[in-house]
């Protein structure tokens, strides 16, 4: 089938930010991806790798400096801004429900807002009914719709954020670290909710997380980002059991869950911290930390090459024989 969402060669640079010390932060430097109807694409990477910036471009909240995002073949960024029907069909769930939910609004008003903006309820009674339906869908009691966000737990607040994202019946939801701010015990419940919603509603998800363990059970495909670029992207089975890129191997070998760590492989320690996105290393951006690096890696940037749908940006990618 055709992708529902497609990103081609996305670039985004920020100037004058807190981290930049006068330089330009190259947050995203040439990312391509396709999202197919009804799939979950997990995207992982360390903080500062550009995943939030990518998320914001994928929903049209941020305009790329270069490149294009399309929804069912139609460009997001037109002269008049992102077309209303595309905004309706592509929604976002944010990392921290405490800052993304207005504390002065009731849960009813928060979830009803997109219904009002997109004129999806003919009157206030229909709106109330729809809000009740959405809250039930995410496992919250509609009886509590007159309450305020602070009266809910962190996990419940994130469910409110999910109900709001579902209100417009989106085809795509981009979730930027939706469980990172939650306790470990609550994370699994919210991840399971996403998996269930996807099965019942058929919505396609981009699920961003900072480690591979979180997205493992919900993702059909997984992308691994490093310093503003995609290092590897493939089916979850391939990325977890036959990773092609040294960075993915290192992340897996360091996984806190022993079952996730590659069997029979030694733990790979990465040298140093990620370099600054103000001045990414030349050649392969990972070469300053890669145990497989050669002279060529510091000079020639590897292409993001595909073998049977499994992409990796490495001169020495491990491919099945
Ligand atoms: Fe490591 Fe070289 Fe591959 Fe980059 S291109 S990941 S430095 S082996
Ligand atoms: Mg982030």
Q: Would you say residue 260 has pLDDT above 60? A: no
Q: Which residues line ligand 1 (CB under 6 A)?
A: 245-246, 284, 286-287, 290, 292-293, 297, 302, 314-316
187: DSSP letter: H
Residue that wins the pLDDT comparison between 276 and 11: 11
pTM recorded for the entire structure = 0.93
Q: Would you say residue 21 has pLDDT above 70? A: no
Within 10 A of 307 (CB to CB), how many other CB atoms are there? 13
Q: For 106-148, write each residue's pLDDT tens digit.
A: 999 999 999 999 999 999 999 999 999 999 999 999 999 999 9
Q: Rounded distance, CA 16 to CA 27, Å?
A: 13
Ligand 1 atom at shortest distance from the alpha carbon of 317: 3
Which H helix or E strand runs over 93? Answer: strand 90-93
Q: Would you say residue 212 has pLDDT above 80? A: yes
56 alpha carbon, closest ligand:
2
Query: Residue 275 in 3-state DSSP?
Result: coil
Ligand 1 atom at shortest distance from the alpha carbon of 284: 4
Residue 256: predicted pLDDT: 60
Q: For 52-95, write each residue's pLDDT tens digit.
A: 999 999 999 999 999 999 999 999 999 889 999 999 999 999 98
Query: Domain residue spans in the chain?
Result: 5-312
The structural architecture, per CATH, of the domain 5-312 is 3-Layer(aba) Sandwich (3.40)
Q: Rounded distance, CA 19 to CA 108, Å?
A: 38
**Percentage of the chain lying above the pLDDT 70 cut:** 94
User: Is the C-alpha dihedral spanning 215, 218, 222, 225 positive or negative?
Assistant: negative
Instruction: Name the band, by pLDDT with cuts 50, 70 and 90, for residue 15.
Output: confident
Q: Rounded distance, CA 266 to CA 250, Å?
A: 10
Report which of 218, 281, 251, 226 is spatially closest to residue 47, judged by C-alpha positions: 226
Report which of 65, 88, 91, 87 is spatially closest to residue 76, judged by C-alpha positions: 87
Q: Give the residue, by CA position, lying nearest to ligand 1 atom 3.
A: 314
Contacts (Cβ under 8 Å, ≥6 apart) of 223: 33, 41, 42, 43, 44, 230, 232, 233
Whether residue 48 contacts residue 274, with contact meaning beta carbons closer than 8 Å, is answered with yes
Ligand 1 atom at shortest distance from the alpha carbon of 291: 1
ipTM of this predicted structure: 0.97
Q: Kindly list the distances between the CA atom of residue 65 and the CA atoms of 10, 80, 176, 265, 314, in Å, as whole numbers in the listed order.
A: 8, 17, 21, 41, 25
């Amino acid at each position: 089938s055709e992708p529902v969402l497609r990103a081609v060669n996305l670039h985004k640079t920020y100037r004058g930010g807190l981290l930049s010390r006068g330089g330009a932060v190259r947050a995203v430097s040439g990312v391509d991806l396709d999202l197919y109807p009804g799939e979950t694409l997990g995207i992982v990477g360390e903080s500062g790798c550009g995943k939030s910036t990518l998320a914001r471009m994928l929903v049209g909240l941020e305009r790329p400096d270069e490149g294009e995002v399309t929804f069912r073949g139609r460009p997001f960024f037109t002269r008049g801004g992102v077309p209303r029907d595309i905004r309706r069909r592509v929604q976002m769930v944010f990392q921290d429900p405490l800052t993304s939910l207005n504390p002065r609004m009731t849960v009813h008003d928060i979830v009803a807002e997109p219904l009002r903006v997109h004129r999806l309820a003919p009157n206030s009674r229909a709106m109330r009914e729809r809000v009740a339906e959405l809250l039930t869908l995410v496992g919250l009691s509609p009886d509590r719709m007159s309450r305020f966000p602070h009266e809910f737990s962190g996990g419940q607040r994130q469910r409110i954020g999910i109900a709001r994202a579902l209100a417009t019946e989106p085809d795509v939801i981009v979730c930027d670290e939706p469980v990172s701010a939650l306790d470990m015990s609550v994370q699994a419940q919210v991840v399971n909710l996403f998996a269930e919603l996807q099965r019942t509603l058929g919505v396609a998800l981009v699920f961003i997380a900072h480690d591979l363990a979180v997205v493992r059970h919900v993702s059909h495909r997984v992308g691994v980002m490093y310093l503003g670029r995609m290092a590897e992207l493939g089916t979850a089975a391939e990325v977890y059991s036959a990773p092609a890129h040294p960075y993915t191997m290192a992340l897996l070998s360091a996984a806190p869950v022993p079952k996730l760590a590659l069997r029979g492989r030694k733990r790979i320690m990465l040298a140093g911290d990620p370099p600054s996105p103000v001045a990414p290393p030349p050649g392969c951006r990972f070469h300053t930390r890669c145990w497989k690096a050669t002279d060529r890696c510091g000079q020639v940037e590897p292409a993001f090459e595909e073998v049977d749908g499994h992409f990796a940006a490495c001169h020495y990618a491990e491919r099945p024989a």
